[in-house]
Amino acid sequence: MSSAVIDKSKNYINHEKGLWSWLTTLDHKRIGILYMITVMAFFLIGGIFAMLIRTELFTAGKTIVDAAQYNQLMTFHGAIMVFMVIIPGIPAFLGNFFLPLQLGAKDVAFPRVNLMSWYCLIVGAAISFFSLFYHGADTGWTFYTPYSIKTDNGTILLVLGAFVMGFSSILTGLNFIATTHRLRAPGMGFFEMPLFVWGLYSTAIIQVIATPVLAITLLLLAAEKTMGIGFFDPALGGDPVLFQHFFWFYSHPAVYIMILPAMGIISELITTYSRKVIFGYKAIAFSSVGIAAVSFFVWGHHMFVSGQSEVAGVIFSFLTMLVGVPTAIKTFNWVATMYKGSIQFQSPMLYAMGFLFLFTIGGVTGVMLATMAADVHFHDTYFVVAHFHYVMVGGTLMAIMGGIYHWFPKMFGKMYSELGAQLSFAFIFVGFNVTFFPQFILGAQGMPRRYFDYLPAFEPLNQISSVGSWTIGVGFLIGLWVIIHGLLRGEKAPDNPWGAKTLEWQTTSPPPHENFYDQPKVTGGPYEYR
């Protein structure tokens, strides 16, 4: 607990010692660090799977693994990256650390629940990985019925693991909504909140509303596999397409769980490194909430050729177009923020610009896929694979990397090697485009996704793509080195190295256990660069 005498040498890292103090901590900052370690470990595993997939696809036919092994790699790559990396990546790691700091609070509303959500992730992940010892799972991360009902029972473990990890996400979202509503610093109204908080808040709404539907869907799938309840089995009067509706009712909003907080980070980065007030604060804030709201009514755009009714397809296509508008607004606002700014080419800003570049491409191809007749051709081809990697990796992962470098001095009180971070960025950015741009062409030419083998005509572009993936791998290894080197050898960081205006920069680096020595009071907007 806080002591009366202020000792500035104590911070959240060194005020208690030992592994046990970390595993039982209720401090949101420490829980954030726990998430950072786990998410990075899962990212490494998922990344290795990705490298294996691309290496297998280097040549047509068998290269290093057989079809059954390939399908498992593909399934686990997807499940790990979605459930264990991107969904907890921003909210549970960076959000946990910085939401209370940006709000000027001492902690999140429910610290015990916060710790419990981390354990849910760990337990869920352990159950999922355990399935690898029971023939694994080969359904793809989407678990489509009836294939998932008929395939090996290792799938049940992956499904149950995802179910448990869902609770992690629900609890985090619930905590963040309560924290945002109830624990803002004196003087901070909703429109004085930083845009990262708006992003997390919109995300939390989706986590709370959509994830329970995933939970029941996965429970029904597990019951289907163990008891044959027949909800999704045509032989018993059920409907396999119903599963897709249930699944995408969660999983489409889930892609906004992945991108909304990323957009929040980008708003922070662009205003900080342009040293300029954000352009259209309210437009960005409202478009976050707007995207979250519309996201619940667009799931059917994954199902234009699934056999859903034509009317449904038309409605879903139209609503999907509506999501495009707030997304476009945000993008233009970020560009406008840079106008007449003072732009510093620090590595977080490079990642922010990388985000703008890749996300724009991901966005416009998203409009193509929302157009029904075009989607008929592109659906389930590499065009879709390229599109969602541009949005999820080019968007979310770029934002995570930018966010890590931006907040690294605050989290650890140390600086990182700027040169290393820029080198890592160059490899990732170039490698990313080399990997995924050819996949747009492959998709347009008709190469379906989830293919272990492909026609010889597709080989050259696949080889370019594989080489690109190894380049990304090198980039992330350099990034890992930058982080470890910064932790061990980094120079001591000042409290506010970037001249940023939000509250987390007003405390020491690293922050004390209770976040602030004096309760901060807020008198204006979060980005008053004058």
Partner 1 sequence: MNTVNRTAGEYAHHFENADHEFETSKFGIWLFLCTEVLMFGGLFVAYFLFSNLYPETFVEGAKYLDWKYGAINTAVLLLSSFTMVLGIYYAQNNNTKKCVTSLSITLVCGFIFMFIKYLEYAHKIEMGLLPGEMFSFAEAQSSNLGLYFSVYYMMTGLHGSHVLVGMGLIFWCILRARKGEFNSKYYTPIECVGLFWHLVDLIWIYLFPLLYLID
Partner 2 sequence: MFWLNNAHAGNTFMPPQASNFAESVDSLYGFLWYASLISCILVIGGFVYFAIKYKRKTENDQTAYIAHNTTLEFLWSFIPFVVFLVVFAWGWKIFYDMKRAPENALEIHVVGQKWNWDFLYKSGKKQTSEFTVPVNTPIKLIMSSRDVLHSFYVPAFRIKQDVIPGRYTSLWFTATKEGRFNVFCTEYCGTGHSSMLAHVNVVSMSEYEEWLANDPYKGLSMVEVGQKIYQSRCIACHNLTAEKKIGPGFKGLFASNKTFTDGTTGVANEAYIRESILMPNAKKSVGYENAVMTSFQGQLSEDEIAGTVEFIKTLK
The residues that touch partner 1, with contacts defined as CB under 8 A, are 1-2, 26, 100, 105-111, 113, 170, 174-175, 177-178, 181-183, 208-213, 215-217, 219-220, 223-224, 227-231, 233, 236-239, 242, 246, 514
- Encoded tokens for 75: 């399934």
Rounded Cα gap, residues 97 and 244, in angstroms: 35
Instruction: Tell me which of partner 2, partner 1, none is bound by residue 1, counting a contact when its beta carbon lies within the kind-specific cut-off of 5 to 8 angstroms.
Output: partner 1
Q: Residue 14: exposed, middle, or buried by beta-carbon count in 10 A (0-12, 13-18, 19+)?
A: exposed
Question: Of 215 and 352, which has the nearer Cβ to partner 2?
Answer: 352
Give the residues across from 177 on adjacent strands: none
CB of 469 to partner 2, least distance (A): 19
Q: Which residue reads 């999983």 in tokens?
A: 251
CB of 350 to partner 1, least distance (A): 36
Instruction: Tell me which of partner 1, partner 2, none is bound by residue 375, counting a contact when its beta carbon lies within the kind-specific cut-off of 5 to 8 angstroms.
Output: partner 2
Residue in 192, 380, 459, 514 binding partner 2, rule: CB under 8 A: 380
Q: Where are the beta strands (DSSP E) in 73-171?
A: none
Cis status of the peptide bond prior to 510, with omega within 30 of 0? yes
**458: contact with partner 2 by CB under 8 A:** no
Instruction: Tell me which of partner 2, partner 1, none is bound by residue 334, counting a contact when its beta carbon lies within the kind-specific cut-off of 5 to 8 angstroms.
Output: partner 2
Site for partner 2 (CB under 8 A): how many residues? 90
Question: Of 111 and 140, which has the nearer Cβ to partner 2?
Answer: 140
**445: contact with partner 2 by CB under 8 A:** yes
- Write out the binding residues for partner 2, residues 311-330 only, by CB under 8 A: 313-314, 317-318, 321-322, 324-325, 328-329
**Can you tell me whether residue 189 is helix, strand or coil?**
coil
CB of 209 to partner 1, least distance (A): 6
Let me know how long the chain is.
Answer: 530
Rounded Cα gap, residues 257 and 86, in angstroms: 9
Which x/- pattern over 386-405 shows residues binding partner 2 (rule: CB under 8 A)? --------------------
> Candidates 259-267, 333-341, 391-399, 424-432 — which segment interacts with partner 2 by CB under 8 A?
333-341
Residue in 58, 451, 470, 517 binding partner 2, rule: CB under 8 A: 451
Rounded Cα gap, residues 23 and 42, in angstroms: 18
Helical segments of 104-153, H only: 111-130, 147-150
Q: What secondary structure does DSSP assign to 229-276, as a single string? A: --TT-GGGT--HHHHHHHHHHHHHHHHHHHHHHHHHHHHHHHHHHHTS
Instruction: Tell me which of partner 1, partner 2, none is bound by residue 488, counting a contact when its beta carbon lies within the kind-specific cut-off of 5 to 8 angstroms.
Output: none
Q: Which residue reads 């090198």 in tokens?
A: 474
Residue in 26, 45, 178, 283 binding partner 2, rule: CB under 8 A: 283
Residue in 11, 365, 435, 508 binding partner 2, rule: CB under 8 A: 365
Rounded Cα gap, residues 345 and 470, in angstroms: 26
CA distances from 167 to 120, 162, 209, 212 (A): 7, 9, 12, 8
Rounded Cα gap, residues 507 and 517, in angstroms: 7
CB of 40 to partner 2, least distance (A): 29
Instruction: Tell me which of partner 1, partner 2, none is bound by residue 89, counting a contact when its beta carbon lies within the kind-specific cut-off of 5 to 8 angstroms.
Output: none
Instruction: Tell me which of partner 1, partner 2, none is bound by residue 150, counting a contact when its beta carbon lies within the kind-specific cut-off of 5 to 8 angstroms.
Output: partner 2
Type of residue at 15:
H
- Encoded tokens for 1: 């607990």
Are 302 and 241 a contacting pair, CB within 8 Å?
Answer: no
Q: From its phi and psi, is residue 371 left (phi > 0), alpha (psi between -120 and 50) or beta?
A: beta
**133: contact with partner 2 by CB under 8 A:** no
Rounded Cα gap, residues 359 and 336, in angstroms: 16
CB of 106 to partner 1, least distance (A): 4
CB of 256 to partner 1, least distance (A): 16
Instruction: Tell me which of partner 2, partner 1, none is bound by residue 332, counting a contact when its beta carbon lies within the kind-specific cut-off of 5 to 8 angstroms.
Output: partner 2
CB of 238 to partner 1, least distance (A): 7
Are 452 and 71 a contacting pair, CB within 8 Å?
Answer: yes
**135: contact with partner 2 by CB under 8 A:** yes
Instruction: Tell me which of partner 2, partner 1, none is bound by residue 119, counting a contact when its beta carbon lies within the kind-specific cut-off of 5 to 8 angstroms.
Output: none
